[in-house]
Structure 1
Amino acid sequence: MSVNLTGIPTGTGTGGDSLTTDLNTQFQAADMVWIATSAALVWIMVPGIGLLYSGLSRKKHALSLLWASIMTVSVVSFQWFWWGYSLVFSHNTRGNGFIGTLQFFGFKDVLGAPSSVSSVPDILFAFFQGMFAMVTGILMVGGACERARLFPMMVFLFLWITIVYCPIACWTWNAEGWLATLGALDYAGGGPVHICSGHGALIYALILGKRNDPIAKSGTPKYKPHSVTSVVLGTVFLWFGWFGFNGGSAGNSTIRAWYSCVSTNLAASCAGLTWMFIDYFRFGRKWTTVGLCSGAIAGLVGITPAAGFVPIWASVIIGIVTGAGCNFAVDLKNLLRIDDGLDVYALHGVGGAIGSVLTGIFAADYVNATAGNEMAPIEGGWINHHWKQVGYQLAAICSVIAWTCVVTSILLLVMDRIPFLRLRLRPEEEEMGTDGAQIGEFTYAEEEMYIPEPIRSHNTANVPQPTAIDDHIGENNTDSTDLTGHPTEKVVV
């Protein structure tokens, strides 16, 4: 059967009739291969965050955080197909660049026309950007660490991505978005991904309240990570995936993509060393693995809005400043008295804001120009004597924080007043652990786990006595220390 593809791509709608038109002729094959590869790399970050969160938690809650990562992939994938992509990247917007239309509702006409990034088709760009929505979602649900009911979490995630993330992403990345039109620079998600998720997690943690702590009656509860190995594995997945996160955000396979990969790696390395050295002098003169991993993630967050705009030497400064800033920002949860047990706000909310401001200082027109003919020109930042740029960056930061905090608060407070959407576990469920109370499965074989059952006989001679479910730190039948190194008293239930 002969194929006669003599049609001309239309550039609109589906891009043309695929039975008579070769839609691929509009695009460079190398660009499409790189963006598709990058999307797969970003997907790996979602279970990576699950591993990281699981390792940082107590083991009776560890499986629920792995569950949350796969749940987020599923819920956000459906939301992105249903209307998420259309609300962010429709080819026209409403409200002067506030939100997209439902042009692509249910992926209608998402096929071969050029996307908002004209170097790739809509179907590929939708695949790539859907991964960013997933990463934002799993970061945000980290604010619910160890005390949220899971069904309301699913409902909240779907609604939050729709009415919080989608508008902010449209403002920033849609060509008609009001922040893009204003001139704010955000290469790969300092605002939509990190500032948004960090402040969303902070509000989630605030409204849920502190975890029940039988020892620390006041202040913020502190628990040792139950598995540093999982923390390291999660960090490895994140660092690896971030090359797609930042490298793919170039939208093509030009020098700019590889330049941003180098900046990404260097910033993460410098931030990891910075955090570890600060912790060495602040806490017991130990070269902590968790500190090294936390610093690397802080550096990855800080370079995200900047990677395709700033010189490589600036990534060293960004890594050091972000690593130090996020390290000290961890103490803010004690000042605010908000139990953000996974430090999502300190790493992502604060780190994203620092990176965004530094983008306004170090953005260079010649770095952006390494995209060649596929370049969208910029005026640069302070090093190009474009002094207004930091003002644009601050406007973007403030607008993202305000929208995220106000809308997230309203959404959670309304949901919590609907009986079947009550947000928090009951005290006895929280004591048992999210895994036992909500999932019925466990990360590890819990041979000594005692789950109460009805006593069916008045003869108590043969009734098994309860054993420890979990102590204050998350290890069965052992005493341990909190994060400050002070001994804690074992709590037996």
Structure 2
Amino acid sequence: MSAPVFNESIPSGGNPLEIDVNAPYVGLEYHYTYLVFCGFIVWLIIPGIGLLYGGLARRKSALTLLFQSLMVAAVTTFQWMFWGYTLAYSRTAGPFIGDMANFGLKNVMAAPSPGSAVIPEIVFCLYQLLFCACTVQIVVGGAFERGRIVPSLVFGFFWATIVYCPIACWTWNPNGWLFKLPSLDFAGGGPAFVLGKRKHVGDPSHGRPHNTTLVFLGTVLIWFGWFGFNGGSALNASVRAMVAAFNTNTAASTGVLGWVMVDYIKHGRKFSVVGACEGAIAGLVGITPAAGYVEPWLAAVIGFITAVVCALLQNLNDWMHIDKGMDVFKLHGIGGMVGSFLTGLFATSKISALDGVTIASGAIDGVGIQVGRQFAEITAISAYSFLVSCALFYILKFIPGMHLRIAEEAERDGIDMDQFFEEQIGDWGVFDEFNKRSRVLAISAPGTPPVEDVVVPMDGAGKKD
């Protein structure tokens, strides 16, 4: 069955009280059902990132990162419905950013989407919203253990508006300048630089993950969600989408192998669970721009190379004199650059054509200029996102009430205690550790229990029996 055609006179797809808006998609239901399913599993990346970041952080900051993952999703959803979607995907967009044609999701309903005619626009809107939410969460994570929650959420709203949406328009909107170049991007550093390093004088736990199990669980959810991230980016249920999903798993697996190999050699035949998890994420990031363009064996090469490159840059934070415990730039920045470059080398038309529509080739097909196009994409996106992100942080830094960094004393004791009601911590052992200032420091008399065994009453809601 042929795909429905967008009608400018009825941009919403029609009044459901007068016509059957489902009729144009009869026989095509499997396409949008598949994409809705992909969107649902992409959502799992959101708690996955929260668990990953919570496990990598020190225990006294883990709660903040879990809470922040849900809050970022909520704020980004509002931003997307308010004006994010129209800035990125309006049909009347310019080469750099969209207009207000779909402000407040006006007319975003049953008409064929701008990304694919076989899916309704509301399905496309939901799917792309989840991309935005995951990206904002990754970026905001760069301020972990020293950034206040409210300013971080405000930053996330405006970062999505002035960084993510324009770049999405450049890359995926048919009117975007990178889309027309074309650069090949199948699925798509400021915070730490501006906030400065964490205070960790005398803290032996600095830089060490407090819960490797959470890191592992978060990685598993991210890996699973990435099947939807890449597998749905064909925007149809074609063979190309299935190849993209296969390539996703392949690259993540070889990413694990690459990172573990580097750790095994570097650390004297020792293994690292966290290293294996970082390798999987590096592989996922590396294959994202290439998933629907390369053969499975080349996907394996991309995952392996990306992970090895990222693993060899373990001292990147020291070289750049920044403190980014979540390795946002190393994994997602460097990993994305490597993946984009390798896409220019390995993209082949016989894979991209599996959806029956797309023809795209790289150097392996004799189109060497595609490597230069990928460099143009890397340079433009990297420069724009870094400079605008830093500018946004500096602006917020000087707005009353929007100072980003918590006080040094609060950072020492733990951002969780500074940002949450004490009742919500729920673990009195953790509460005692975080609230050391409330303890009574006494010298035990002969015959009395040691100080650490003495139960000290707390005031208010923190009272112990």
Is TM > 0.5 for Structure 1 vs Structure 2? yes
Structure 2 SS opposite 1:299: helix
Name the counterpart of 1:166: 165
Aligned AA (2:132):
A
Name the counterpart of 1:377: 359
In 1, are the aligned partners of 2:60 and 2:434 still within 8 Å (CA)? no
Structure 1 SS opposite 2:151: helix
Where do residues 188-207 of structure 1 align in structure 2 (5 Å cutoff)?
188-189=187-188, 202-207=189-194
Structure 2 SS opposite 1:223: coil
What runs of 5+ residues in structure 1 fail to find an aligned partner? 1-7, 190-201, 455-462, 468-476, 478-493
Name the counterpart of 1:350: 334
Name the counterpart of 1:37: 37
In 2, are the aligned partners of 1:10 and 1:16 still within 8 Å (CA)? no
In 1, are the aligned partners of 2:317 and 2:324 still within 8 Å (CA)? yes
1:111 to 109, 112, 117: 109
Does the C-alpha gap of structure 1 residues 123 and 214 become closer, same or farther in structure 2, counting only changes over 3 Å? same
In 1, are the aligned partners of 2:83 and 2:104 still within 8 Å (CA)? yes
Of 245-254 and 327-336, deviating more is 327-336
CA distance in 2, matches of 1:350, 1:241: 21
Where do residues 120-135 of structure 1 align in structure 2 (5 Å cutoff)?
120-135=119-134
Where do residues 270-419 of structure 1 align in structure 2 (5 Å cutoff)?
270-372=254-356, 375-378=357-360, 380-419=361-400
Q: Could you report, residue by residue, the CA deviation over 1:429-456 in whole angstroms, capped at 9, with x for unpaired residues?
A: 10111110011333744253363789xx
Structure 2 SS opposite 1:99: coil
Q: Could you report, residue by residue, the CA deviation over 1:295-348 in whole angstroms, capped at 9, with x for unpaired residues?
A: 011000000000001111101110111010111223211101100111111100
Aligned AA (1:377):
I
In 2, are the aligned partners of 1:88 and 1:170 still within 8 Å (CA)? yes
In 2, are the aligned partners of 1:9 and 1:16 still within 8 Å (CA)? no
In 2, are the aligned partners of 1:9 and 1:26 still within 8 Å (CA)? no
Q: CA deviation at 1:215?
A: 3.6
1:14 to 2, 8, 12: 12
Does the C-alpha gap of structure 1 residues 450 and 344 become closer, same or farther in structure 2, counting only changes over 3 Å? closer
2:417 to 436, 439, 443: 436
CA distance in 1, matches of 2:304, 2:150: 40
Structure 2 SS opposite 1:250: coil
CA distance in 1, matches of 2:431, 2:337: 46
- Number of aligned positions between the proteins: 433
User: Is 1:140 aligned to residue 124 of structure 2?
Assistant: no
In 2, are the aligned partners of 1:9 and 1:22 still within 8 Å (CA)? no
CA distance in 2, matches of 1:450, 1:414: 32
Does the C-alpha gap of structure 1 residues 9 and 58 become closer, same or farther in structure 2, counting only changes over 3 Å? closer
Does the C-alpha gap of structure 1 residues 447 and 106 become closer, same or farther in structure 2, counting only changes over 3 Å? closer
Q: Could you report, residue by residue, the CA deviation over 1:327-376 in whole angstroms, capped at 9, with x for unpaired residues?
A: 1223211101100111111100000000000000111111011112xx23
CA distance in 1, matches of 2:431, 2:80: 41
In 1, are the aligned partners of 2:72 and 2:133 still within 8 Å (CA)? yes
CA distance in 2, matches of 1:224, 1:410: 30
Structure 2 SS opposite 1:188: coil
Does the C-alpha gap of structure 1 residues 127 and 255 become closer, same or farther in structure 2, counting only changes over 3 Å? same
TM-score using structure 2 length: 0.90
1:212 to 152, 177, 199: 199
Aligned AA (2:55):
G
Name the counterpart of 1:5: none
2:441 to 457, 465, 474: 465
CA distance in 2, matches of 1:204, 1:453: 30
CA distance in 2, matches of 1:139, 1:9: 35
Aligned AA (2:18):
T
2:210 to 201, 226, 229: 226
Does the C-alpha gap of structure 1 residues 466 and 233 become closer, same or farther in structure 2, counting only changes over 3 Å? farther
In 2, are the aligned partners of 1:450 and 1:466 still within 8 Å (CA)? no
In 2, are the aligned partners of 1:298 and 1:326 still within 8 Å (CA)? yes
